[in-house]
Amino acid sequence: MNIEVNGRVHDEEPRPGQCLRTYVRERGWFGVKKGCDAGDCGACTVHVDGEPVHSCLYPAFRADGRAVTTVEGLAAPDGELHPVQRKFLDAQGFQCGFCTAGYLMTTAALDADQLADLPRAFKGNLCRCTGYRAIEDAVRGIKHVEAPGAGESVGRNLPAPAGPQAVTGTARYTFDIDVPGLLHMKLLRSPHAHARVTAIDTAAALRVPGVHAVLTHEDAPARHFSTARHEHPEEDPDDTRVLDDTVRYVGQRVAAVVADSEAAAEEGCRRIEVAYEVLPAVLDPQEAMRPGAPVVHDKDPVTARIARPRDNVVGEAHGEIGDVEEGFAAADAVYEATFRTQRVQHASLETHGAVAWLDEDDRLNVRSSTQTPFLTRRALCALYGLPHDRVRVVAGRVGGGFGGKQEMLVEDIVALAVLRLRRPVKLEYTRAEQFYGATTRHPFTIGVKAGARSDGTLTALRLRVVSDTGAYGNHGPAVMFHSVGESTAVYRAPHKKVDAYAVYTHTVPAGAFRGYGLGQVMFAVESALDELARRLGLDPLEFKARNIIGPGEPMLTPGGHEEDLHIASYGLDQCLGIVRRARTEPRGEPAPEGWLVGEGAALAMIATGPPGGHIADARAALLPDGGFDLAVGTAEFGNGTTTVHRQIAAGELATTVERIAVRQSDTDVVRHDTGAFASTGVVVAGKATLRAARALADLLLDFTAAHLHVPRADCHLAEEAVLHPGGRLPLKELYAAARAVGVECAADGHFGGTPRSVAYNAQWFRLAVDPGTGEIRILRSVHAADAGKVMNPMQCRGQVEGGVAQALGATLFENVRIDGRGEVETAAFRRYRLPQYADVPRTEVHFTETADAIGPLGAKSMSESPFNPVAPAFANALRDATGLRFTELPLTRDRVWLALHRAGVTGQPRVSSSS
């Protein structure tokens, strides 16, 4: 057997049935990624004798005598990048980078005809981050990156520091390391939605060759906790055990088998015999709140922090401003309807996983795909009674998150195995497990009623919200509270009322997801106000513009005003102005003859950070060579914070980003950071970086003045030196002089996440609908974003494009379906349709001109917010085209066709009411 990989011959025989992906990874070629193991995502693409193949489907033995090229071998032997790698760098055609190797290998093999038809050429590759436009720009050779001078970084299109590693396959994600003596874990999961484990027989499993241990609820701590990670753990209910003797959804882990190989661990799982007492289950949140429904968690409401356990209500919010009935009585038109949103999977291409070991000092080391390394360390210490200095958590480069990795779903069970066996242990979710064993976006049912006078003045707004949090309450109360916050505060109405419930069911748990509940409720509110405007004969956009709050106005919600939340800059009027201009421009794809055409818009407001505090610490230091070290805790998963932090620091230190090295996401080498979630990577962690860099700049100038006996006011930082009246003091010499007198050239920065500001977004679509088939074609997509001072326009635009693309998937076809037993039916990409290259239009992204009084250097967040107005804008355009109001997501072709068919809508052209 001879398999040549990147010019190196390997003569090891593949294992029976082994695929080429695992074969090359086991030999250190970690650029080949695992995203699906089913040939659906393309992350594992390699060349075999020059032809691209999905290596997860390609039997390794077929590569005998063939030349295999992975992304590591794409460059020339002298290190010169392949032209495709250079193009992806110049265009920054990636975000998290997990799919990038697959795209590079696919692109490098395309001929001229294939390059002319990218939708077909990229049918076998998926990207969850970019929205595909940056990838298209890369393929087309469009260059976006800039190279500004020292101190000129902020506001420029600077590349991600890990870009070269992303395009060469040398960026190290969670499992891209070789751990000697590694054992593998597999999980036995429940086949029942609700059952009590009465007995577990592990004897046969333990007899499987290579099996080292089988862990059950008898081995797990008795302590309850929440898998959700927040700075304040009391925000979430304590309803979860590492392993429980009661299972509450199909797919819940029942036992863990640890073995020498994944195959042995899987066989061990098959041989475990479990006796269950099957219990009644409830799958619908409305049914779950009714008297006599099966109780999901019969726990003490105080100690578990569950609002009403016997009613399956984990959290609720009720409030009223004014008197809504009085407001409806004063209205000339009232609209009332119920809207529903579905479960959506995060579908990050890197699945959940962790590898852990004990080091020579007997410290627990955990390497995990997590957005919250510090909070995960804290939770592990609490679970296993370990001091913080005995646990280290490291997040390597994370292959996508979108809120799904603001959880502790794997680290707890891996740590249990390591502490028991004192051997390194790895657990990596399969793609199927990601669907039924991780978390989803919360499904919502939103009853909305809105009233307004004939002049377009909103008189009353009432919401009744039911959120299905699934079998466990991780994030349930917080998502519910957030969903009815900015969605009601953005509109000025004298009478508002909210009743909201987060409800347990015996289904796969929901969790944090981009937008954190706002997207679901904004779908209802924005659709309802659009319909109300039409009933009044008003332009929906102008109706909304009349009723939005303005700068200086209070943000009032029935749930209570958050005192630390402010309108520190206001760009919503500019966002709406951008949409107005788009409506008048004769641009976009023409509609096919006979199709129905319409347009629609929606807006959204979001807080730039969570309530209750979000802590970030940073440390900036001068290095002996005159460069700088920046230590930040926030994780990088395509959100681009690493790039922005270097830009902020470079601006304050009058240097270039290349001279700033960043250390991050390692609890041993950086200081505390709550985590990369709630849109805080720039506005919270970035502010800590700003303060650390400013403090270091002051320290360097103060030292120079004292050291040289010159006026402090005459000293100025420049690239590689401090300028002073007598000339220049090189930073290398400054470092040496400071060290000689015991001065440490380092400074700290801290921000607690409060006060907070708000960001705004508006989305507009023009689309066409084929009444004969229900097919919808997007003719033009425009997004306006108020991100304050945009730190990196190229990168921020990518966040918007990716958010719009992900939201379009949730709007049009993504749906985690659950059958009558509570089992997930869509546990593979080919059964759960993600947006592909051909599905996503090129969205025109426009930024407003604002500068925030709170955010670092005037910046605001823009990672979550683009998602929120997309579904209602699309639904409003669909209403404009068809005359039908769709109140349930997703807006699949069959659902649209059926509604048109029942309504007798034909292909006769309609006149847009908002044209």
Residue-wise DSSP of 381-398: HHHHT--GGGEEEE--B-
Q: Average pLDDT, stretch 89-113?
A: 97
Across the chain, what does the average pLDDT equal? 96
Closest by CA to 144, choosing from 92, 192, 109, is 92
- The mean pLDDT value for 851-868 works out to 96
Most confident of 147-161, 238-252, 661-675: 238-252
Q: Are 163 and 242 in contact (CB under 8 A)?
A: no
Average pLDDT over residues 124-135: 97
Q: What is the mean pLDDT of residues 197-223?
A: 98
Token pair listed for 795: 């990168």
Q: What is the pLDDT of residues 690-747, one digit of tens each?
A: 999 999 999 999 999 999 999 999 999 999 999 999 999 999 999 999 999 999 999 9
Which pLDDT band, with edges at 50, 70 and 90, does 232 fall under? very high
The Cα 479–Cα 611 span in angstroms is 12
Q: What does DSSP assign to residue 339?
A: E
pLDDT number for residue 913: 46
> What confidence tens digit (pLDDT) does each residue in 287-336 have?
999 999 999 999 999 999 999 999 999 999 999 999 999 999 999 999 99
444-452: strand order across its sheet: 313-321, 495-504, 458-470, 444-452, 333-341
Q: How, if at all, do strands 776-786 and 313-321 pair?
A: unpaired
339-356: pLDDT as tens digits: 999 999 999 999 999 999
For 623-656, give the DSSP string. -TTS-EEEEE----SSS-HHHHHHHHHHHHTTS-
Q: How far is CA 206 from CA 258, 268, 418, 681, in A?
A: 10, 7, 17, 45
Identify any residues that bridge with 718 across adjacent strands, giving them in sequence order.
Answer: 721
Separation of alpha carbons 99 and 130, rounded Å: 10
Whether 174 contacts 108, CB under 8 Å: no
Provide the β-strand partners of residue 104: none
Q: Measured between alpha carbons, how far is 751 from 617 in angstroms, rounded to an integer?
A: 7
CB 799 within 8 A of CB 639: yes
Q: Is the pLDDT of residue 791 over 80?
A: yes
From the CA atom positions of the chain, what is the Rg in Å?
A: 28
The answer, yes or no, to whether residue 756 has pLDDT greater than 90, is yes
**Rounded CA separation 716/511 (Å):** 49
pLDDT at 753 over 80: yes
pLDDT at 612: 83
Q: Does the pLDDT of residue 914 top 50, yes or no?
A: no
Q: Over the stretch 391-435, which tens digit does the pLDDT of each residue have?
A: 999 998 999 999 999 999 999 999 999 999 999 999 999 999 999
Is residue 767 a contact partner of residue 761, using CB atoms and an 8 Å limit? no
Distances (CA, A) of 421 to 182, 212, 392, 686: 11, 8, 18, 41
d(CA 802, CA 580): 23
Looking at the DSSP bridge assignments, the partners of residue 630 are 620, 662
Q: How far is CA 798 from CA 151, 643, 652, 680, 843, in A?
A: 24, 13, 25, 17, 10
Q: Give the residue from 459, 462, 453 showing the smallest Cα distance to 538.
A: 453
Cα separation, 436 vs 819, in Å, equals: 12
Residue 406 sits at the vertex; the CA angle it makes with 196 and 657, to the nearest 5 degrees, is 160
Q: Please provide the DSSP assignment of 463-483 as one string.
A: EEEEEEEETS-TTHHHHHHHH
Exposure string (b/e) for 847-864, b if CB count within 10 Å is 16 or more?
bbebebebbbbbbbbbbb
H or E element in which residue 898 lies: helix 893-903
**Angle value at C-alpha 589, between 584 and 593, nearest 5 degrees:** 105
Question: Which residue, chain included where needed, has tokens 């919270």?
Answer: 684
User: What's residue 907's pLDDT?
Assistant: 64
> What is the model's pLDDT at position 317?
96
| pLDDT tens, residue by residue, 795-826 | 999 999 999 999 999 999 999 999 999 999 99
| Residue 627 scores a pLDDT above 50 | yes
Task: Provide the percentage of residues in the chain whose pLDDT is more than 70.
Answer: 99
Question: For 657-663, what is the mean pLDDT?
Answer: 95
